[in-house]
Amino acid sequence: MTTQTIDVPSGVAPGVAQNNLFFAWFAGSLASCGAVTFTNPVEVVKTRLQLQGELAKATPGVERAYHNVAQAFWAIGKNEGLWGLQKGLGPGYMYQIMLNGTRLGFYEPVKNALYTGATGSTSRGQAPIMALNVAAGGLCGVAGAALGSPFFLVKTRMQSASKFAAVGHQHNYTSSIDGLRRIWQAGGIRGLYRGMDAAMMRAGAGSAVQLATYDHFKSYISRTLAHRGLTDNSVYTHFLASMGTGFFVCLAMNPFDVVSTRMYNQKTVNGQGALYRNPFQCFYKTVASEGVLSLYKGFLAHYLRLGPHTILMFVFVEQIKALGAQYF
C-alpha cells in the first residue's frame, strides 16, 4: 500500500513551528476555516432542522417545511440559491478562528502541562492517558467557545433566517456587522455573550471527545498498522482517525448542540430570553414538549457536517504542521 506522507528528515530536530504557539494557533485557524468552507451548507440545514417544531408537540397531519437532510438541502438551494446554503459563513470563519485556533493551538501545551503534573514528564513518548487528553480537550474547547460566542450567536441567527420557510425567531440581519451592531445596541456586552454558557457546554463536550479520541485513534492506527505504511505522519492515518472521531463527537455533542442553537436563536425581551432562562431550562422544556429524541434532532445533518469537518480539519492541520516542521 502506498501512502502520502510529509516527514521531518531523520535526525533533524523539530523546527520552530513544532514548538511555536502562534504557529499552532495559525495552523488550527487556517485548517478549520478551510474545513468550514465545505461544511457550512450542512450546518445551515442542521440549524433549521433543530429549530423546526421548537417546543411544539408533534401533531399528525401538520406539514413541516423540512423533512430530512436531503429534502432540506434541496429546498434551501432551490428557494434561496447557493448563498442561502452559505448563510453565516462570514461569522462562521471568525468563530472557527476563535474556537479551533484556541483549542487546537493550545491543546498540546495544556496536555503537556497536565501530563507533567500527573506523571512528571510531558506526553511525548508516553502511551496516551485518556483522562488527561479528555481534560485538556475540554478545557481548550470551553476557552475557545467563550472567545467565539458572539460570532456563533450571529452565525446561528443568520442561518435560521428564511423568507420561504422560517423556523425559530427571525432576526433578519443583513450582514455579520449588522448583527453584531444590533445585538450591541440592544444588550451591550451581555447581549453579545448571551448563550455563552450553552456554547461552552457544547464545545467542552465536543472538544473533550474529539481531541482525546482523535489522539487515541491516531496512536492506535500508527502503532498497529505502521507495517502497512500507516505511520503517524500518513494522510491516510489522519483520515481514518478523523472518521472514527467524528461519530463519537456527534453522539456526545448533539444534545448540547440542539440546546445551544435554541438558546442563541431565541428572541430577547427586556434583556432576557423569551423562551429559556438558561441551558438547563432549555433541556427540560425541550424534552418535556418534544420528547427525549428531540435532543437528537438534526443528528444526521450534524454528522454529515461534523464528519467531513473533522476529517478536513485534522488532515489540513496535520499537513500544515508537517510543512511547518519541514520548512521553518
pLDDT digits (tens, 9 = 90+) for 261-320: 999 999 988 878 889 999 999 999 999 999 999 999 999 999 888 878 878 887 888 788
**Sign (positive or negative) of CA dihedral 299, 305, 306, 311:** positive
Beta bridge partners of 268: 273
Q: Using an 8 Å Cβ cutoff, are 231 and 259 in contact?
A: no
Q: CA 105, CA 321: separation in Å to the nearest integer? A: 11
Alpha-carbon distance 110 to 126, whole Å? 16
Provide the 10 A C-beta neighbour count for residue 119: 12
- Check if the beta carbon of residue 248 is closer than 8 Å to that of residue 213: yes
| pLDDT value for 57 | 67
Which regions of the chain are under pLDDT 50?
Answer: 1-18
How far does Cα 169 stand from its chain's mean position? 23
Instruction: Report pTM.
Output: 0.81
What is the structure's pLDDT at 62?
A: 63
Question: Which residues, in sequence order, are CB contacts of 200 under 8 Å at separation 6+?
Answer: 142, 145, 146, 149
